[in-house]
Amino acid sequence: MNAKKVAIIGYNRTPFVRYNTVFSDATNQDLLLSALQGLINKYHLQGKLLGEVAGGAVIKHISESNLIRETVMKTNLDPATPGCDLQQACDTGIEAAIYIANKIALGQIECGIACGVEAMSNIPFESSLKLRKALLNANKEKSTFGKIKQFLKPSIKDWFPIPYKGQEPETGLVMGEHTELTAKYYQISRQEQDALSFKSHQKLAKAYDEGFYEDMISPYLNVKEDNNLRRDTSMEKLATLKPAFDKKDGTLTAGNSTPFTDGASAVLLASEEWAITNGLPILAYITHAELAGIEYVQNRQNLLLAPVFAADRMLKKADIKLEDFDYYEIHEAFAAQILATLKIWETKELALQFGLQDALGKVDHEKLNVKGGSLATAHPFAATGGRIIATLAKLLNEKGSGKGFISICAARGQGVTMIIEK
């Protein structure tokens, strides 16, 4: 059978905001519902039965095991529209798009929504193992005395909640600590990192001033703009920030790293036939995608460098060179991470260390994250993929032709790349 072409039809997201600020009381469902309903309203999907809605959140409460389906039922889509939860750390949003795109390509569905959300202000706390066991055992006890006896077994310390730290289970290091190793190993300077962050904020501010994001964001709680944007930042201000992970001689700071973020995004995908029948525009097409993993326990500096492999495989399959793209949207989890990835792609010696046959090529920085990247917009883990796909699809649609390259790194040593064409 011939695979159907997969079209990007529309997009919507909430503003992305630093956690514990203006969205501090919002849940995953609150934010996702806002993004989905905004998309539905924008493209007149009220009452329509879609093939499927897929997406997820990296961090969910136990009660959110069916987050997507539950949220879909609160929208005014046909309530028979199925929903699927999936999670792949920071790749979640784009992996959801691949999942929906593959079903469209195979003819299993005609249309679907890929989405992602993160309410970092409302992440669940863990409890100690001793406390959990005591509570479970107390539930089995029939007498009040028996229950009290179980409650007294945990120490006072065991009763304290354990906050989320985001550590990699295999190494015990948080992502920023791994990226400090990346910066040192690949010799990425503090000045280079600050310069990339500064440009990201400048580009985002300019994009807002030009109205680029006007049709891409639905206001939520009267917030209309990403509040991580620092219009008044400068290289001088960034230089004053203290290291965030390696206090002694680190180069990663709050200024060149993404903060915990609240936000949600959604992207509408469909076959050409469905788009035409429903009178909706075709912005661009998803043509290739590749997922990769990388060993990062022995080589701890490589946690966020799996896109090195994903890009190599994808470009070979597509028979396209890295220099052949009109736009590049590369996730800026940390300035050091994206700079290291670019350095490996363009340096033969480093590429060979990864087992690549040759350097992939040099990315033109004038075409990179031209409307601002994650360092400026911030990074709600599962929602970043949708933001990036939407931005690139709009850029290609406005240009009227061309190719766009996407790269996103993720925790647990994974990464994904994608090609979008007009």
Active-site residues: which are they? 90, 379, 409
Return the residue matching tokens 């064409």: 421
3-state secondary structure of 420: strand
* Coil, strand or helix at 16: coil
SS3 of residue 243 by DSSP: strand
Residue 118 makes CB contacts below 8 A (sequence gap 6+) with 28, 31, 57, 58, 59, 261, 262, 263, 264, 380, 381, 382, 383
C-alpha neighbours within 13 Å on the C-beta side of residue 264: 30
Q: Which residue has the tokens 């003819």?
A: 107
Continuous segment of H or E residues that includes residue 44: none
- Which residue in this structure is represented by tokens 């590429």? 351
Q: What is the DSSP letter of 174?
A: B
What's the CA gap between 404 and 422, in Å, rounded?
9
Under 8 Å CB-to-CB from 221, ≥6 apart: which residues?
22, 23, 26
What is the gyration radius of the CA atoms in the chain, in angstroms?
22
Beta strands in 275-386 (DSSP E): 284-293, 327-330
Burial 68-100 (b: 16+ CB within 10 A, else e): bbbbbeebebeeebebbbbbbbbbbbbbbbbbb
Closest CA to 126 of 165, 100, 88: 165
Residue pair 219/295 in contact (Cβ under 8 Å)? The answer is: no
Q: Quickly count: other Cβ atoms within 10 Å of residue 304's Cβ.
A: 29
Strands (E), 32-144: 52-56, 83-85, 111-119
Among 314, 321, 326, 327, residue whose Cα is nearest residue 287: 314
Task: Look at residue 85 and give its three-state secondary structure.
Answer: strand
What's the rounded Cα separation, in Å, for the pair 216 and 63? Answer: 30
